[in-house]
Chain A
Amino acid sequence: MVFGGFLLGITVGATPGLAGPMAMAISLPILISVFGFSNDALLPVLGFLIGIMKGATVGGAVPAILFNTPGTPDAYMTTLDGYPMAQKGEAKRALRIAHFSSASGDTFSDIVLVVCAPFLAILVERYLDLPEKTALLILSLAFIASVIGGSVGKGVISMGLGLLAAMIATGEDFYPRLTMGQSSLAEGIPIAAAVLGVLILGEVFKSLEDLHRTTQSNTMSQVASGQSSALSHNDLRRLLPYIGRSALIGTCIGALPGIGSTLAATLGYTTAKRHYVTAKPDNAPDFGEGAPEGIAATEAANSSVSGANLIPVLSLGIPGNAAAVFLILAMDSIGGFNPGPSVFRLGGGIGDSVMNPEMVMVFGIFTAMFLANALNWTIGGIFMRLVGVMARIPKNRLLPIILFLTLTAIYVQETSMFAIWITIFFGLLGYVMRRVGMSPLPFVIAFILAGNLEATARQAFAATGADPFFLLKSPIAFIFIALAIFVVAYNLRRPLS
């Protein structure tokens, strides 16, 4: 399953206009149809999705180098040096550098995940009670709303809309709240319809309109691949400091909820550029003119996000980016696994001698990640060089197919035309959000976390004897709330982008 997902991920990553989360969204209902909703289904489904997630990051570099078109947004910086290298007839060498850097960053990030996630979970479990957990969820949402996109106000509204949508037909009373008496809404908004609508359909609507407006030619010219050029020890010695620095930057950014691989790639590239000025060898090209170090820094940074972004998912149950959203969606749809600090408990609940099945599952996920790494190191590079052809598929034909496939996947899961209309509604919302410069990611993450946030707050309120200031009484909860306010206020002061 990891192998299949990985190959699909590279193919999707190499196709401009598609991205890992799109492939994950479309695959999920098919995988659930194949494996069902039993506990045994979780690992193969997550293995496939993890394969896609990792493959897509590697694949994104292919069209960036060969066609000057990033396959995924986080590969934009790769075009700056990758394409000039390809124009000089060094396309194969550039692809090798991208692959080596990507695989290195990915492996580093996974090691950090395996080491850090259990410790973080144990800390959370030991020191955080219900009020602190509520405050932590509030802090995460405040962080995500503030740092994503150019405007804090729009991020906050996006988050508010996500919370509001998730509150429809939930609650504790018999009457399903906020349904306006509509029986079709009484079951609530299907999570897949809201998430896929805002993330996938919204993007498809916007991209189709861009194509409609520009009527651009979809044909791309591929530069000559050039001679095969393996990386020498000297090359590796030169590249490794840049890869190491970027892997560290990408891992730190990946571990923070809400900050994606695009920012990691940008930071990795700009940091490397600053160092390159002092360490540049004579006659070597500058950054932006075909410097291998530029490719290495970008690819190591964006790939090292993929492992680290599972740290908040597994230890806190908080998704950090779109790919993590789909992993949580898979866990939520199949059931039997509730990501959060409790998954790292040793005991199984029945008796202390029984191993916690959720912890076994987590280590299964870790194994799947290292399997994907092994595939990346062994066949990733070969497959990468084969999928350059994907960039030739015209987007104006590909996007309607993606849209129809997504709608079919929603119907197969929900068996209702109403769910299709809800998905289209959320697609339009996602489209409008993108047009007014509002990131849809806070919406999606708030939608996923809303149920947990409300339930934890209710329990905390009850457990503290109906204390209305329960979020401010505990020092840790108070610090989290103060941090949430600080994060919003600080980001409000930074210049608008």
Chain B
Amino acid sequence: MESGSSSDRWLALFFLAFSILIVLVWIPLDTETGLVEKVRRKFVIGDALAPTITGAIITLGAIMIWLRPSQGHTITRKNVIWILQLLAIFAISLMIMRYMGPIVAMGFEGGYRPLRATPPWNYIGFLVGGTVMIGGLIATASRRISIRGFAIGFATSLIIALLYDMPFDDLLLPPNGDV
């Protein structure tokens, strides 16, 4: 068996296990009505029917992949490392975005919340987090950390912040709806 088709067989097994998990564990534990319910002496479709059919569809797809595996597509270790790199950039930049404003405003009475719709406070987390996210992604894609990448990140974040914040009073930039 060639490596490409072997990876498709693994994919089929994964989705087969996933669909069994959906139908036998997730749906029974996480829906309150069955496949079909009797309500006021009439039969109606319950909330579990559609997800169960969906689970069956995924099983069918997995069987089709198993029977006719294609070649050339697979997730490699390099892809997993790439995903982890992306997740690290998102975790760091979104954490900075979320907490930068409250940290800077710690010395003020009432903290960040009363200031979250007031410039320049409402820009702090967005600008710093956005700069880190864009700069980090540019650095990762081009395998080189550069001041220019972070400068592009800052300029872009500033333009987007102004684009949303200047004309629309009722819009909140991230993370100001959560603080």
**Chain A positions near chain B (C-beta within 8 angstroms):** 30, 33-34, 150-157, 159-161, 163-164, 167, 171-175, 177-181, 205, 208-209, 211-213, 215, 396-397, 399-401, 403-405, 407-408, 411-412, 415-417, 420-421, 424, 428, 431-432, 435-437, 450, 454, 457-458, 461-462, 466, 492, 496-497
Contact = CB atoms under 8 A, between A and B. Distances in A.
Interface in B79-119: 79, 82-83, 86-87, 90, 94, 98
**Residue in A160, A424, A432 whose Cβ sees the most chain B Cβ within 10 Å:** A160
A408 B173 contact: yes
Contacts of B172: 411-412, 415
A33 B61 CA distance: 40
A335 to B, nearest CB: 18
Contacts of A150: 70
Contacts of B72: 437
B2 interface: no
A212 B140 contact: yes
B178 A156 contact: no
A161 B31 contact: no
Given A173-B32, A178-B31, A411-B174, A404 B83 contact: no
Nearest to A411: B174
Contacts of A454: 50
A171 B22 CA distance: 16
Given A30-B163, A435-B74, A401 B134 contact: yes
Nearest to B142: A396
A171 B163 contact: no
A450 B50 CA distance: 9
- Those 5 A-B pairs whose CB atoms lie nearest each other, nearest first: A153-B64, A437-B73, A415-B177, A156-B61, A153-B65
Interface in B155-173: 156-157, 160, 163-164, 167-168, 171-173
Interface residues of B, number: 78
B128 interface: no
B64 A152 contact: yes
Interface in B11-47: 11-12, 15, 19, 22, 26-27, 30-33, 36, 42-47
B12 A156 contact: no
B94 A164 contact: no
B143 A435 contact: no
Given A164-B54, A492-B64, A403 B79 contact: no
Contacts of A437: 70, 72-73
B59 to A, nearest CB: 9
B1 interface: no
A398 to B, nearest CB: 10
Contacts of B55: 160, 164
B61 A164 contact: no
Given A400-B138, A428-B83, A466-B42, A160 B149 contact: no
B47 A436 contact: no
A209 B79 contact: yes
Please classify the interface of chain A as helix (H, G, I), strand (E, B), loop, or mixed, using the class held by over half of its residues: helix
Contacts of B54: 160, 163-164, 167
Contacts of A160: 19, 54-55, 57-58, 61
B140 A208 contact: yes
Contacts of B42: 462, 466
A177 to B, nearest CB: 4
Nearest to B133: A404
A178 B26 contact: yes
A179 B30 contact: yes
Given A156-B57, A408-B174, 6 more contacts: A33-B168, A154-B61, A163-B57, A205-B82, A215-B143, A424-B90
Contacts of B60: 156
A10 B74 CA distance: 35
A412 B164 contact: yes
Contact of B153 (A180, A396, A400, A496): A400
A120 to B, nearest CB: 27
**Residue in B11, B46, B54, B83 whose Cβ sees the most chain A Cβ within 10 Å:** B54
A328 B6 CA distance: 39
A178 B50 contact: no
B72 to A, nearest CB: 7
Contact of A417 (B87, B149, B178): B178
A428 B89 CA distance: 13
Contacts of A435: 73-75, 79
A177 B51 contact: yes
B124 interface: no
9 contacts: A157-B61, A160-B57, A172-B47, A177-B47, A180-B30, A396-B141, A411-B174, A412-B173, A432-B75
A159 B59 CA distance: 12
A428 B11 CA distance: 16
A164 B57 CA distance: 10
A492 B142 contact: no
Contacts of B61: 153-157, 159-160
Given A178-B51, A404-B157, A457-B45, A397 B31 contact: no
